[in-house]
Structure 1
Amino acid sequence: MPKAISRNKTARGNSAQFFVAGELCRRGHSAVVTLGNTPNTDILCSNEEGTRFVHVQVKTYVPGNRTVTVGIKAEKDFGKNFIWVLAGIPAADSNQPFEYYIVPSALVAENVAESHRLWLADAERLQKSRKDSTVRVIHIPPSTSYNGWSIDAFKNRWDLIDALLANPV
Protein backbone atom coordinates (compact mmCIF):
# COMPACT_ATOMS: atom_id res chain seq x y z
CA MET A 1 0.00 0.00 0.00
CA PRO A 2 1.46 3.43 -0.92
CA LYS A 3 2.32 5.97 1.75
CA ALA A 4 -0.56 8.26 2.61
CA ILE A 5 -0.21 11.52 0.73
CA SER A 6 -0.35 13.46 3.99
CA ARG A 7 2.97 11.88 4.96
CA ASN A 8 4.65 12.10 1.57
CA LYS A 9 5.74 15.66 0.74
CA THR A 10 6.83 14.80 -2.79
CA ALA A 11 3.50 13.23 -3.71
CA ARG A 12 1.60 16.11 -2.11
CA GLY A 13 3.70 18.68 -3.98
CA ASN A 14 3.28 16.88 -7.30
CA SER A 15 -0.46 16.53 -6.84
CA ALA A 16 -0.78 20.22 -5.95
CA GLN A 17 0.83 21.24 -9.24
CA PHE A 18 -1.69 19.15 -11.16
CA PHE A 19 -4.66 20.40 -9.10
CA VAL A 20 -3.60 24.01 -9.76
CA ALA A 21 -3.04 23.32 -13.48
CA GLY A 22 -6.45 21.64 -13.61
CA GLU A 23 -8.14 24.70 -12.11
CA LEU A 24 -6.39 26.97 -14.60
CA CYS A 25 -7.55 24.76 -17.49
CA ARG A 26 -11.08 24.69 -16.04
CA ARG A 27 -10.99 28.49 -16.23
CA GLY A 28 -10.21 28.35 -19.97
CA HIS A 29 -6.44 28.74 -19.89
CA SER A 30 -3.71 26.43 -21.18
CA ALA A 31 -1.57 25.19 -18.30
CA VAL A 32 1.47 22.94 -18.52
CA VAL A 33 3.21 21.41 -15.50
CA THR A 34 6.95 21.75 -16.14
CA LEU A 35 7.94 18.71 -14.04
CA GLY A 36 10.95 20.58 -12.68
CA ASN A 37 12.37 21.38 -16.09
CA THR A 38 11.92 25.16 -15.86
CA PRO A 39 13.66 27.26 -13.19
CA ASN A 40 11.27 28.96 -10.76
CA THR A 41 8.21 27.80 -12.70
CA ASP A 42 6.05 24.81 -11.77
CA ILE A 43 3.29 25.69 -14.23
CA LEU A 44 3.48 27.73 -17.41
CA CYS A 45 0.06 29.13 -18.19
CA SER A 46 -1.16 30.99 -21.27
CA ASN A 47 -4.36 32.41 -22.64
CA GLU A 48 -6.18 30.47 -25.38
CA GLU A 49 -4.41 32.41 -28.12
CA GLY A 50 -0.99 31.74 -26.63
CA THR A 51 -0.18 35.45 -26.63
CA ARG A 52 0.06 36.07 -22.87
CA PHE A 53 1.86 33.98 -20.26
CA VAL A 54 2.03 33.61 -16.50
CA HIS A 55 4.66 31.67 -14.55
CA VAL A 56 3.21 29.91 -11.52
CA GLN A 57 5.23 28.66 -8.56
CA VAL A 58 3.25 26.24 -6.38
CA LYS A 59 3.99 25.66 -2.70
CA THR A 60 2.03 23.05 -0.81
CA TYR A 61 0.86 22.80 2.77
CA VAL A 62 -1.56 20.66 4.76
CA PRO A 63 -4.79 22.57 5.51
CA GLY A 64 -4.80 23.44 9.19
CA ASN A 65 -1.05 24.10 9.25
CA ARG A 66 -0.02 27.63 10.18
CA THR A 67 2.79 28.08 7.66
CA VAL A 68 4.01 27.06 4.24
CA THR A 69 7.76 26.81 3.68
CA VAL A 70 9.33 28.70 0.80
CA GLY A 71 12.99 29.22 -0.05
CA ILE A 72 15.08 32.35 -0.14
CA LYS A 73 14.03 32.85 -3.77
CA ALA A 74 10.67 34.02 -2.40
CA GLU A 75 12.45 37.28 -1.54
CA LYS A 76 12.96 38.01 -5.23
CA ASP A 77 10.30 39.75 -7.29
CA PHE A 78 10.25 37.88 -10.59
CA GLY A 79 7.89 40.39 -12.20
CA LYS A 80 4.18 40.96 -12.60
CA ASN A 81 3.65 37.77 -14.62
CA PHE A 82 5.02 35.57 -11.84
CA ILE A 83 2.45 34.29 -9.35
CA TRP A 84 2.79 32.18 -6.23
CA VAL A 85 -0.02 29.70 -5.54
CA LEU A 86 -0.04 28.35 -2.00
CA ALA A 87 -2.02 25.15 -2.21
CA GLY A 88 -3.58 23.48 0.81
CA ILE A 89 -4.04 19.87 -0.28
CA PRO A 90 -5.96 17.74 2.23
CA ALA A 91 -5.33 14.03 2.71
CA ALA A 92 -7.41 11.78 0.47
CA ASP A 93 -9.49 10.55 3.41
CA SER A 94 -10.14 14.08 4.69
CA ASN A 95 -13.33 16.10 4.38
CA GLN A 96 -11.37 19.35 4.48
CA PRO A 97 -11.69 21.53 1.39
CA PHE A 98 -8.79 22.42 -0.88
CA GLU A 99 -7.37 25.87 -0.17
CA TYR A 100 -5.65 28.14 -2.68
CA TYR A 101 -3.99 31.49 -2.12
CA ILE A 102 -2.96 33.26 -5.34
CA VAL A 103 -0.38 35.93 -4.53
CA PRO A 104 1.62 38.22 -6.84
CA SER A 105 5.41 37.84 -6.74
CA ALA A 106 6.04 41.45 -5.70
CA LEU A 107 3.95 41.09 -2.54
CA VAL A 108 5.52 37.75 -1.64
CA ALA A 109 9.04 39.14 -2.14
CA GLU A 110 8.45 42.28 -0.10
CA ASN A 111 6.69 40.59 2.80
CA VAL A 112 8.78 37.43 3.03
CA ALA A 113 12.00 39.49 3.11
CA GLU A 114 10.65 41.94 5.69
CA SER A 115 9.17 39.22 7.91
CA HIS A 116 12.40 37.22 7.87
CA ARG A 117 14.46 40.31 8.70
CA LEU A 118 12.15 41.12 11.63
CA TRP A 119 12.22 37.50 12.84
CA LEU A 120 16.03 37.56 12.91
CA ALA A 121 16.14 40.97 14.61
CA ASP A 122 13.63 39.89 17.26
CA ALA A 123 15.95 37.11 18.41
CA GLU A 124 18.24 39.72 19.93
CA ARG A 125 15.36 41.37 21.78
CA LEU A 126 14.17 38.00 23.09
CA GLN A 127 17.75 36.95 23.86
CA LYS A 128 17.29 33.88 21.70
CA SER A 129 19.74 32.34 19.33
CA ARG A 130 18.45 32.25 15.77
CA LYS A 131 20.62 31.16 12.90
CA ASP A 132 19.94 32.57 9.45
CA SER A 133 19.22 30.05 6.70
CA THR A 134 17.67 29.89 3.26
CA VAL A 135 14.31 28.77 4.68
CA ARG A 136 11.50 31.31 4.65
CA VAL A 137 7.85 30.92 5.63
CA ILE A 138 4.52 32.41 4.72
CA HIS A 139 1.83 32.24 7.37
CA ILE A 140 -1.55 30.76 6.48
CA PRO A 141 -4.67 32.55 7.79
CA PRO A 142 -5.74 33.15 10.43
CA SER A 143 -2.02 33.46 11.27
CA THR A 144 -0.09 36.51 10.11
CA SER A 145 3.57 36.93 9.21
CA TYR A 146 6.10 38.54 11.54
CA ASN A 147 5.46 41.94 9.92
CA GLY A 148 1.66 41.56 10.31
CA TRP A 149 1.05 40.59 6.67
CA SER A 150 -1.93 38.34 6.00
CA ILE A 151 -2.60 36.53 2.74
CA ASP A 152 -6.29 36.16 3.60
CA ALA A 153 -7.32 38.61 0.85
CA PHE A 154 -5.72 36.31 -1.75
CA LYS A 155 -7.80 33.22 -1.05
CA ASN A 156 -9.15 31.85 -4.35
CA ARG A 157 -8.04 34.98 -6.23
CA TRP A 158 -7.84 33.17 -9.58
CA ASP A 159 -9.03 36.45 -11.09
CA LEU A 160 -5.50 37.81 -10.65
CA ILE A 161 -4.23 35.24 -13.14
CA ASP A 162 -7.29 35.72 -15.37
CA ALA A 163 -6.52 39.46 -15.57
CA LEU A 164 -2.87 38.88 -16.50
CA LEU A 165 -3.93 36.56 -19.32
CA ALA A 166 -6.78 38.71 -20.63
CA ASN A 167 -6.36 40.36 -24.00
CA PRO A 168 -6.20 44.15 -23.85
CA VAL A 169 -9.35 45.96 -24.87
Structure 2
Amino acid sequence: MNLDKTQIGLAGEYYVLAQLTARGYIATLTLGNTKGIDILVTNQEINKFFKVEVKTTTNPHKIEKLFSDKPAFHWTMSKKHEDIKDSNLIYCFVLIENAGIMPKFYLVPSLAVAEYVKWQHEHWISTRPGVMKETSMRKFRIEMDDPNNYLDNWEIFK
Protein backbone atom coordinates (compact mmCIF):
# COMPACT_ATOMS: atom_id res chain seq x y z
CA MET A 1 0.00 0.00 0.00
CA ASN A 2 1.31 3.41 -0.93
CA LEU A 3 -0.74 5.67 1.31
CA ASP A 4 0.53 8.65 3.22
CA LYS A 5 -0.02 9.06 6.96
CA THR A 6 -3.18 11.16 6.51
CA GLN A 7 -4.76 8.67 4.12
CA ILE A 8 -3.98 5.77 6.45
CA GLY A 9 -5.54 7.64 9.38
CA LEU A 10 -8.69 8.55 7.45
CA ALA A 11 -9.08 5.02 6.12
CA GLY A 12 -8.93 3.70 9.69
CA GLU A 13 -11.52 6.20 10.90
CA TYR A 14 -13.93 5.33 8.08
CA TYR A 15 -13.51 1.59 8.68
CA VAL A 16 -14.30 2.07 12.39
CA LEU A 17 -17.27 4.32 11.61
CA ALA A 18 -18.67 1.68 9.25
CA GLN A 19 -18.27 -1.07 11.86
CA LEU A 20 -19.99 0.99 14.56
CA THR A 21 -22.87 1.92 12.26
CA ALA A 22 -23.32 -1.68 11.09
CA ARG A 23 -23.62 -2.70 14.76
CA GLY A 24 -26.46 -0.25 15.36
CA TYR A 25 -24.60 2.53 17.13
CA ILE A 26 -25.10 6.18 16.24
CA ALA A 27 -21.62 7.36 15.28
CA THR A 28 -20.18 10.45 13.67
CA LEU A 29 -16.71 11.59 12.68
CA THR A 30 -15.41 14.75 14.30
CA LEU A 31 -13.20 15.46 11.25
CA GLY A 32 -10.38 16.88 13.32
CA ASN A 33 -12.57 19.43 15.07
CA THR A 34 -12.35 17.74 18.48
CA LYS A 35 -8.85 17.27 19.87
CA GLY A 36 -8.07 13.63 20.72
CA ILE A 37 -11.47 12.37 19.59
CA ASP A 38 -12.08 11.00 16.11
CA ILE A 39 -15.57 9.52 16.49
CA LEU A 40 -18.47 10.25 18.83
CA VAL A 41 -20.63 7.20 19.55
CA THR A 42 -24.04 6.81 21.17
CA ASN A 43 -25.45 3.54 22.41
CA GLN A 44 -29.13 4.39 22.50
CA GLU A 45 -30.07 1.16 24.29
CA ILE A 46 -28.27 2.29 27.44
CA ASN A 47 -28.32 6.02 26.67
CA LYS A 48 -24.54 6.37 26.92
CA PHE A 49 -22.01 8.39 24.93
CA PHE A 50 -18.47 7.31 24.08
CA LYS A 51 -15.48 8.99 22.52
CA VAL A 52 -13.24 7.02 20.19
CA GLU A 53 -9.67 7.79 19.25
CA VAL A 54 -8.60 5.78 16.21
CA LYS A 55 -4.97 4.81 15.72
CA THR A 56 -4.20 3.12 12.41
CA THR A 57 -1.12 1.28 11.20
CA THR A 58 -0.09 -0.71 8.18
CA ASN A 59 3.03 -2.04 9.91
CA PRO A 60 3.37 -5.81 10.02
CA HIS A 61 3.97 -7.55 13.33
CA LYS A 62 7.45 -7.87 14.73
CA ILE A 63 9.18 -9.25 17.77
CA GLU A 64 10.75 -6.75 20.16
CA LYS A 65 12.58 -8.92 22.67
CA LEU A 66 12.78 -6.07 25.15
CA PHE A 67 9.03 -6.35 25.67
CA SER A 68 8.12 -9.92 24.72
CA ASP A 69 9.29 -12.94 22.77
CA LYS A 70 5.92 -12.98 21.03
CA PRO A 71 5.22 -11.12 17.79
CA ALA A 72 3.19 -7.96 18.29
CA PHE A 73 1.64 -5.13 16.35
CA HIS A 74 2.40 -1.60 17.49
CA TRP A 75 0.99 1.89 17.17
CA THR A 76 2.80 5.15 17.82
CA MET A 77 1.56 7.13 20.80
CA SER A 78 2.86 10.12 22.73
CA LYS A 79 3.58 11.05 26.33
CA LYS A 80 0.17 12.69 26.68
CA HIS A 81 -1.48 9.26 26.37
CA GLU A 82 0.03 8.25 29.73
CA ASP A 83 -2.37 10.60 31.50
CA ILE A 84 -5.60 10.14 29.53
CA LYS A 85 -7.84 8.00 31.76
CA ASP A 86 -11.41 8.70 30.70
CA SER A 87 -13.97 5.93 31.29
CA ASN A 88 -15.89 7.07 28.18
CA LEU A 89 -12.83 7.10 25.91
CA ILE A 90 -12.11 4.01 23.86
CA TYR A 91 -9.06 3.59 21.64
CA CYS A 92 -9.61 1.64 18.47
CA PHE A 93 -6.30 0.36 17.12
CA VAL A 94 -6.73 -0.52 13.47
CA LEU A 95 -4.39 -2.74 11.49
CA ILE A 96 -4.73 -2.44 7.72
CA GLU A 97 -2.67 -5.21 6.17
CA ASN A 98 -4.02 -5.01 2.65
CA ALA A 99 -6.73 -2.93 0.95
CA GLY A 100 -8.51 -6.13 -0.15
CA ILE A 101 -8.73 -7.58 3.38
CA MET A 102 -10.91 -6.32 6.23
CA PRO A 103 -8.71 -4.60 8.82
CA LYS A 104 -8.32 -5.87 12.35
CA PHE A 105 -9.90 -3.76 15.10
CA TYR A 106 -8.56 -3.78 18.66
CA LEU A 107 -10.77 -1.85 21.10
CA VAL A 108 -9.09 -0.87 24.37
CA PRO A 109 -10.25 1.32 27.29
CA SER A 110 -8.17 4.45 27.82
CA LEU A 111 -7.10 3.37 31.32
CA ALA A 112 -5.41 0.23 29.93
CA VAL A 113 -3.70 2.30 27.23
CA ALA A 114 -2.44 4.89 29.73
CA GLU A 115 -1.04 2.23 32.06
CA TYR A 116 0.70 0.32 29.26
CA VAL A 117 2.15 3.38 27.53
CA LYS A 118 3.61 4.64 30.82
CA TRP A 119 4.99 1.21 31.75
CA GLN A 120 6.57 0.50 28.36
CA HIS A 121 8.39 3.82 28.27
CA GLU A 122 9.73 3.46 31.81
CA HIS A 123 10.82 -0.11 30.99
CA TRP A 124 12.54 1.03 27.78
CA ILE A 125 14.42 3.82 29.60
CA SER A 126 15.40 1.51 32.51
CA THR A 127 17.12 -0.94 30.16
CA ARG A 128 19.55 1.75 29.02
CA PRO A 129 20.35 3.88 32.08
CA GLY A 130 22.23 7.02 31.21
CA VAL A 131 22.07 6.24 27.49
CA MET A 132 18.50 6.98 26.47
CA LYS A 133 17.27 10.56 26.46
CA GLU A 134 13.70 11.37 27.39
CA THR A 135 11.41 11.60 24.38
CA SER A 136 7.68 12.17 23.95
CA MET A 137 7.31 9.15 21.65
CA ARG A 138 5.61 6.05 23.04
CA LYS A 139 4.25 2.78 21.61
CA PHE A 140 1.22 0.68 22.32
CA ARG A 141 1.69 -3.01 21.51
CA ILE A 142 -0.78 -5.84 21.13
CA GLU A 143 0.59 -9.35 20.87
CA MET A 144 -0.65 -11.31 17.86
CA ASP A 145 -2.29 -13.89 20.14
CA ASP A 146 -4.12 -10.98 21.87
CA PRO A 147 -4.17 -12.31 25.47
CA ASN A 148 -6.43 -9.41 26.57
CA ASN A 149 -9.13 -10.16 23.97
CA TYR A 150 -9.06 -6.68 22.48
CA LEU A 151 -9.67 -7.96 18.93
CA ASP A 152 -13.22 -7.10 17.83
CA ASN A 153 -14.10 -6.06 21.38
CA TRP A 154 -17.21 -4.18 20.19
CA GLU A 155 -18.98 -5.17 23.43
CA ILE A 156 -16.96 -2.38 25.06
CA PHE A 157 -19.75 -0.01 23.96
CA LYS A 158 -22.38 -1.81 26.04
Q: TM-score, normalised by structure 2?
A: 0.83
Verify: 1:100 aligned to 2:94, yes or no.
Answer: no
Residue 36 of structure 1: which of 32, 37, 50 is its match? Answer: 32
Equivalent AA in structure 1 for residue 115 of structure 2: E
For 1:118-143, what per-residue CA distance to the aligned partner results, in whole angstroms no more than 9, with x for missing partners?
1111112xx7x222211110123238
Partner of 2:91: 84
Q: Look up the SS of the partner of 2:60 in the other structure.
A: coil
Assess, with a 3 A threshold, how the Cα gap between structure 1 residues 48 and 134 changes in structure 2: closer, same or farther.
same
Conserved? CA contact 1:57–1:83, under 8 Å? yes
1-side partners of 2:46 and 2:6: how far apart?
30
Residue 155 of structure 2: which of 153, 156, 159 is its match? Answer: 159
1-side partners of 2:148 and 2:103: how far apart?
15
Q: Which runs of 5+ in 2 are unaligned?
A: 62-72
Higher helix proportion, which one? 1
Bigger mean CA offset, 66-75 vs 28-37? 66-75
Higher strand proportion, which one? 2
Verify: 1:115 aligned to 2:120, yes or no.
Answer: yes
Shift of 1:63: 5.3
Partner of 2:68: none
Q: Look up the SS of the partner of 2:143 in the other structure.
A: coil
Conserved? CA contact 1:77–1:106, under 8 Å? yes
Shift of 1:90: 2.7
Conserved? CA contact 1:141–1:152, under 8 Å? no
Q: TM-score, normalised by structure 1?
A: 0.78
Q: Which runs of 5+ in 1 are unaligned?
A: 144-149, 164-169
Shift of 1:77: 3.1
Following superposition, which runs of at least 4 residues in structure 1 exceed 3 angstroms of deviation?
Answer: 48-51
Q: Looking at CA atoms only, which structure, 1 or 2, has the larger radius of gyration?
A: 1
Partner of 2:140: 138
Q: How well do the aligned residues superpose, as a CA RMSD in angstroms?
A: 2.2
Q: Look up the SS of the partner of 1:90 in the other structure.
A: coil
